[in-house]
Chain A
């Protein structure tokens, strides 16, 4: 298609992530550092899974369609497990780093909380995975053509962009829920994150039935969002307070040090 499609898809896929970055992360250097470190950890997990993928494709039978399909499912599952393993590894590393930061800092409190780290690292994972899933599609969307010469749906670009947006936000929510679960040692919640990640990844096998993959993904996104909201300390009461604009009084009443 054209530049219009390129920018449209870029805004859809990365709009929320860019907004979050601008308003919550860009101002604080420490958060930027942890965001990039999170992105790096996701990259390393991709490197490992692509190595395994490369080797298994080489040794597989390229003629057999069933084998290739099986290989693809294996690759997706492996990749999801590796990503979650690296999320755990990153959590462990951040715990250690935070202790170090605490000893270095002059103040009594930690410069950045585990909840903030959870959000920042989740967004880091999301940025990188979103970039990898959509950049090559975006590159081709800038050309004159659209998908469909072999009979595929022409909504490919649009649905890819929406899928990427969902994946980025999901990674953010997963990060929050995962770290919270680790803090509280609620291992079933960690399991739930892994399973929902697997589920979302496997939903893409529904493509090119884009409705069949996008609708469940957005349902999961909504549920994970609610869960993450609660894990991050949100509640229905807070939401009500916020929406009814009673926050000012509350702020004054609380006098919390920042």
Chain B
């Protein structure tokens, strides 16, 4: 898992006596890969998916795959198996990968060269029916709707992410290093008209050994075995923290609260085939950035006139992996482990993928099964009317898909599994996804139309309002108005203050680089060093750590919905208003953030933010219940690993190796015989006539 990867990945090992000499010998042989992203092993109740190498790394002769027909060389004709196959992303298709998988005795590993621009035809390594078995549509709920019978949500999905490969796979950027690898292939291994290439050949070794095997039940059992003094963990459950906030403070010591609530949901995670590239621009960021903007707009409105119902904002983690976050919250609500109770949930609005790509239509999805109940149907219709009236005098329009269509993959399904709660899911698609790159590495800023004019400084880019930001601001407006009405607010078209500049800054922060001047102002100083000059990785990760997006959303939500309070740093960090205050920490959370530097100073002016933002555990209940074969809850775990690295080098022919060994053995035997003869005849050989006494020998 990540814990181990961060400091072990790119560190070459030097094991020798003289550092000066040794470096040079190793450098003469090996070239280490600088930027390499592995595919890692994940496990669930029944399967293992992903890739792994053997413990000592897999070695294969390089072969740059030029076309699918070229696979014959790798799988049948090539004289030097196993091969390390290098493919461009255009060949990273299901048919190629399945051929490689079945012929894996001749395949040492696969390296995919990621392109610098997105493939026009679309690509999704996810399944066609995401979270097929963990949503609400089971055989018992409605057989006609189960297993995406009505709509295949992700028709482009080729399922590569959910296959198991018994060779390592890495992703490389299309840069100079990759060019050097290809050059090594063309210099040494390239075949001209069918003759076999001559040694030495260019080869590659990839290390990505995974500790866990078989399934979650097996690896969790092995985690518990303590043979040695320092027991070794082999896998960790996937999970993180959900970020929650409400318009009225909730008392977290008082479980099972009894007021009507509206819940608004957005998912916070994504994935791709390879380990730590999960840009999730449309699949995650478009939705939660919209919700963050709406929450900000609602802060002022609810401060002026608090509506009857409380609005709870929920940002769920791990939804990609069988709804980890939402299933946990529903479980906690059901078991009175949360201030709210499921019975109090008045209605649910979920914001899914809402990147508009120039369209001006949003689709409001509902659950046909629960709407058969007339009271639920009535509430849902009211909700849709609210949304429709919110869209008045905006360029966007809202439409409903046909009545018989089930909900797309959404966290709301987990609420429906527990209760028939009225609710809607807002998406940018009518039937199947419009997202061409669902859960892939191409679901990035480029795809969300975040284009900036050339020659902008990072600071100007941060402020530049992109088309994507304008569109999402409109979506946020609809959501905020509808929620306000839904919560019982009096004025249906409240004048919300919307800043598309804020939306554009958020998008920039999540999808271009989090290390920007705005994010620096709103995070605590100890987190500021974790801000990066690259897009946020939305992979959920394992439970031990807070992932970057969780914390960023937490700080953003606190700043956008909270208020600045004038208290000391000490009180702020101890979660209290003053020294005697023991109650506030159950209701509010306090954050001491860096703040901005005044114009003529370099020192930041830090301040305290009080908000209702909370983190709640997003660990699948299956791990608390120790039901590792659960059919109800997510059972995904991530294997641990020791080192992830790769290197290229030349390999000598088998003949040369055997020749070296043969010469060595011959030298040894010859010297043994010669020495034996000489030493047995030393008396004669070294007895000189001039020294007749031969005192020396």
Contact = CB atoms under 8 A, between A and B. Distances in A.
A254 B694 CA distance: 11
Given A19-B668, A20-B675, A147 B29 contact: yes
B29 A233 contact: no
B689 interface: yes
Interface in A104-139: 109, 113-116, 132, 135-137, 139
B675 A8 contact: no
Given A114-B696, A234-B688, 4 more contacts: A1-B657, A11-B665, A149-B649, A229-B685
Contact of B689 (A20, A109, A237, A256): A237
B687 interface: yes
B664 A7 contact: yes
A165 interface: yes
B676 to A, nearest CB: 6
Interface in A132-174: 132, 135-137, 139-140, 143-150, 152, 154, 156-158, 161, 165
**Of residues A146, A149, A154, which shows the largest number of chain B Cβ atoms within 10 Å of its Cβ?**
A149
B681 interface: yes
B674 interface: yes
Given A24-B679, A139-B16, A242-B684, A233 B697 contact: yes
Interface string B626-652: 000000000000000000000111111
B646 to A, nearest CB: 12
Interface of A: 1-2, 4-5, 7-12, 15-16, 18-20, 22-24, 109, 113-116, 132, 135-137, 139-140, 143-150, 152, 154, 156-158, 161, 165, 229, 232-235, 237-239, 241-242, 247, 250-251, 254, 256
B626 to A, nearest CB: 43
A144 B28 contact: no
B450 to A, nearest CB: 40
B18 interface: yes
17 contacts: A4-B657, A8-B662, A15-B670, A16-B667, A19-B675, A19-B676, A22-B672, A116-B696, A144-B59, A144-B203, A145-B651, A146-B651, A146-B652, A149-B31, A149-B184, A154-B656, A234-B685
B651 A9 contact: no
B691 interface: yes
B366 interface: no
B661 A109 contact: no
A18 B668 contact: yes
A140 B25 CA distance: 7
A161 B664 CA distance: 9
Given A143-B29, A146-B651, A233 B688 contact: yes
A118 to B, nearest CB: 10
Interface of B: 15-18, 21-22, 25-31, 59, 184, 200, 202-203, 205, 647-652, 656-665, 667-668, 670-672, 674-676, 679, 681-689, 691, 694-697
B31 A233 contact: no
A241 B684 contact: yes
Given A16-B671, A149-B649, A135 B17 contact: yes
**Of residues A7, A12, A158, which shows the largest number of chain B Cβ atoms within 10 Å of its Cβ?**
A12
Given A158-B660, A233-B691, A136 B650 contact: no
**Of residues B31, B652, B691, which shows the largest number of chain A Cβ atoms within 10 Å of its Cβ?**
B652
B650 A148 contact: yes
Contacts of B184: 149
A152 B31 CA distance: 14
Nearest to B59: A144
Nearest to A157: B660
A143 B30 CA distance: 10
Contact of A12 (B205, B664, B697): B664
Contacts of A256: 683, 687, 694
A233 B696 contact: yes
Given A140-B29, A256-B683, A113 B696 contact: yes
A69 B613 CA distance: 65
B694 to A, nearest CB: 6
